Amino acid sequence: MRHYLLLFLWVLTALTISCKSKESPPVAEPITEEVQTPVTVTEVSTDAMVDYVDLTAISSFLQSSFIKATANGFIKSANVKPGEFVHAGKQVFVLQTKESKALGNTINDLDPSFKFSGLIRINVYQSGYITEVNHQPGDYVQDGEQLAVLSNANSFGFLLNLPYELRSALAANKNIDVELPDKTHLQGRVANILPRVDSVSQTQAVLIKVNAPSNLPTNLIAKVRIIKNAHNNVISLPREAILADESQTSFWVMKMIDSTTAVKVDVVKGMETSDRIEVVSPRFSKADKIVLTGNYGLPDTARVKVMTGKE
């Protein structure tokens, strides 16, 4: 019996040694590399900054008068055509009364001393452009009927519908740039602010006079630039460099403190344009590097890798 017990212990020992010899050696833990977010950086700018708004304005004559017939009769001659500029005193129409046209020279033949032509001459009393001609020679017209429309040349300008909240900005716009559809730029000035506001759009009509050639048509849509603010030596950054929270109440940038570390810096915004934002505080220097792209979601004191155009 003792013999069998020794044999069993020997077999058990042999199996234990065999199992231990087959165990794999311990594996060393891998060394984790530090994650660096690829970013690009930018510098601050200290140039002049202008905040403006582009609005549309329509060319128009604000004053027009009607040239009317002064008697019943036939138009014998019309001395104007649409688009023509006429000076004050110019004869524009000649009317012949229907009585003189019917009698012809009968009255003068019966009494040569009676000088009656039956012709009525119509002159204009102010200079301007003939913007409409309603009758031609041979037409019969009645007393007071409209013959043509004369637009006052001095009343020509561009009518701008200005949002009422921007009215205070007009004081800083002594010279206004007016861009025509063909990219021609005209120098304009505010001539008059009309005393009416549209009840729906809450815009006020503003007349802008321009130094323009005399052949500009009406109903021409131009682009007018109104400057809201203008500052010199403004510290600004591209819009992409400034981050904000969901409520748009807190703003910050990621500033590089060394070649691989970016920290969060709270900023106060000022003037904004389409592509840049003024930084009121803190006052960055030109030597500061601000993360431009790759900054979204970065934590404070983030490890980054600055990418260049060659990478």
pLDDT of residue 253: 96
Strands across the sheet containing 91-97? 119-123, 91-97, 73-78, 140-141
Q: Tell me the C-alpha distance between 64 and 152, whole Å.
A: 6
Count of the separate structural domains present in the chain: 3
User: Quick one: 73 and 147 in the same domain?
Assistant: yes
Average pLDDT, the chain: 84
Which residues form the domain of 102?
67-151
- Which residues, other chains included, contact 54 with Cβ-Cβ below 8 Å and sequence gap of 6+? 223, 224, 225, 226
Average pLDDT over residues 285-304: 92
Assigned token pair, 168: 């205070």
Average pLDDT over residues 84-95: 92
Q: Tell me the C-alpha distance between 285 and 244, whole Å.
A: 22
Of the three residues 122, 151, 180, the one that is the final residue of a domain is 151
- pLDDT tier, 19 (very low <50, low <70, confident <90, very high otherwise): low
Say if CB 282 and CB 289 are below 8 A apart.
no
Lowest mean pLDDT among 94-98, 170-174, 211-215, 269-273: 211-215
Asked whether residue 261 is domain-assigned, the answer is yes
Lowest mean pLDDT among 165-169, 243-247, 299-303: 165-169
Q: In CATH, what number is assigned to the domain containing residue 97?
A: 2.40.50.100
Read off the pLDDT of residues 47-77 as tens digits, 9 standing for 90 and up. Answer: 888 888 899 999 988 888 899 999 899 999 9
